[in-house]
Amino acid sequence: MEPPGVSRQPTPVNYTMFQAFEWYIPADQKHWVRLREAVAGLKATGIDNLWIPPACKGSSQQGNGYDVYDLYDLGEFDQKGGVSTKWGTKDDLVRMVQEAQDVGIGVYFDAVLNQKAGADRTEQCRVIEVDPNDRTRALTDPYSIDGWLGFDFPGRGERYSSLTYHWYHFSGTDYNNANGKTAIYRILGDGKDWSKFVDREKGNYDYLMFADLDYTHPEVEADVKAWGEWLYGQVPINGIRFDAIKHYSGEFLRSLVEHLDDKIGPGWFLVGEFWQDSLDAMRTYIRNMQHKFSLFDAPLVYNFSSISNTENADLTKVFEGTLVGAEPVNAVTLVMNHDTQPYQALAADIQPFFKPLAYCLILLRAEGYPCVFYGDVYGIQGDRPLPPSCGGKVPDLCLARKLYSYGEQLDYFDFPQCIGWTRLGTWDRPSGLACIMSNAGPNEKWMYVGQEHRGEIWTDMLGWKEGQGIINDDGWGCFSCAAVSVAVWVNQSAEGRDQLGRFDTEIYGRA
């Protein structure tokens, strides 16, 4: 008990991020409209922030925005096939963001700052070819190529920014229009080289794709910093997801963050895609960013994939070597994203039976900031469509996080094929929960949920395990799950249980 006169502080609410796209969403320019109509339902099921797809104009209206052409065109100018991006117009975007904020959802912008694509013309420049597996090793003497490196932005002109891009604004490219040869070309010039503040994979992993921006050039640095200020004035965002950060200067990115803090104010949520299975490399990056930066937990995704594809794998080791295990405050946990979804280059195969277990492991525990994938909630489109995963239960697990996943966490990681944990609740969020999962046969565990719950009748909120559990006078209950399954036990009278099962996954009929 608190001493007399000491007031109890409200329990901080659990937050959940939603990746608001998947790779194969139709290129019908209606995505912003559909999202605007969906945000109220997402908020009701426990979503607090949307990570939206790259909203800047790509090289075509079919591109997902990672083929970025013009940072200053959010679907406003007639360029690269039309006014709209794949996702819709700038007006559609602004209306969607405003609707999201009206219902209490923040928006994270996907900033693609490593490269440009869809150049308007070729330019001559001097290069050397480098070894694709060791970009520090030259394969040729210097010679001239005709590269797609001229960006004039004719639809926008000088509105918002007067800078046009030329060969000297880039450090590398991959195509010689003079002879049709594809290779990795390092562009030569006074003081030009690959950035030294990038990942050391392949010797130096500055070059990723398209025309690679050179942040040692003062015009590039100034233009992108000005763009960050401009963006905030156009779309009231709450944070930024930075794409491909291991491929461009970490020194520049740190400088950009400091610039935005100075010009706009601190408090942004910043997360980077540093897709790397080396925990040491990820921790080093976070330290270099002074712990103001979060990273997506790639090692956790690979653990999920490995465990789900290994018979009788050891569930107790699921967090070994993960970012959430080492740096929980800076870890964004996830099960899948647009790069690891089926048929993508980084596809991480997670067996369907394991998806619900994985989502419980990121949503119902105290550590990490979970990010839920659009394709697992609404399904995946394209030539090989897939329905929502987990039998459509992901929204219910998000709601369980919002309503019940509070208080002290007690782990029961005591058997390789069956683990569990409990959350005991708090004074103002008292319900608590008990989660048990198995990747083999059916199983059960006695787990402690607190004496304040004695006499309560708990049931599996997912509906996958029948029966009831009565909490004894000592605060313990016997909780069970089916074979290769998971159960989330909650007081059958807990507040909000009547909201389960109400989420509408039919997003494509809305626009």
Tokens of 40: 């109220």
CA distance 329 to 310: 30
Alpha-helical regions (H) of 126-278: 218-234, 250-263
CA distance 435 to 418: 11
Q: How many CB atoms lie within 10 A of CB 475?
A: 17
**Inter-CA distances, 68 with 73, 113, 263, 381, Å:** 10, 8, 25, 23
CA distance 278 to 262: 32
Among the listed residues 76, 273, 327, 456, the single catalytic one is 273
Q: How many helices (H) and strands (E) does the chain have?
A: 10, 25
SS3 230: helix
Among the listed residues 129, 199, 214, 243, the single catalytic one is 243
**Residues 453/432, Cβ–Cβ less than 8 Å:** yes
262 as an active site residue: the answer is no
CA distance 311 to 439: 8
Q: Could you tell me which residues come within 8 angstroms of residue 375 by beta carbon, excluding any fewer than 6 positions away?
A: 22, 336, 338, 341, 386, 389
Which of these, 360, 393, 399, 400, lies nearest to 376 by C-alpha position? 393
CA dihedral 155, 156, 158, 160 (to 10 degrees): 180
Q: What is the DSSP letter of 169?
A: G
Which of these, 423, 411, 420, 433, lies nearest to 495 by C-alpha position? 433
CA atoms within a 13 Å half-sphere pointing along the CA-CB vector of 401: 30
**Residues 113/242, Cβ–Cβ less than 8 Å:** yes
CA distance 216 to 315: 46
CA dihedral 112, 117, 122, 126 (to 10 degrees): 50
Backbone angles phi, psi at 403, to 5 degrees: -95, -35
Tokens of 412: 């029961």
2 as an active site residue: the answer is no
CA distance 382 to 433: 38
What per-residue string of b and e applies to 86-122 under the rule 16 or more CB within 10 Å gives b?
A: bbbbbebbbbbbebbeeeebbbbbbbbbbbbbbbbeb
Q: Which positions are catalytic?
A: 243, 273
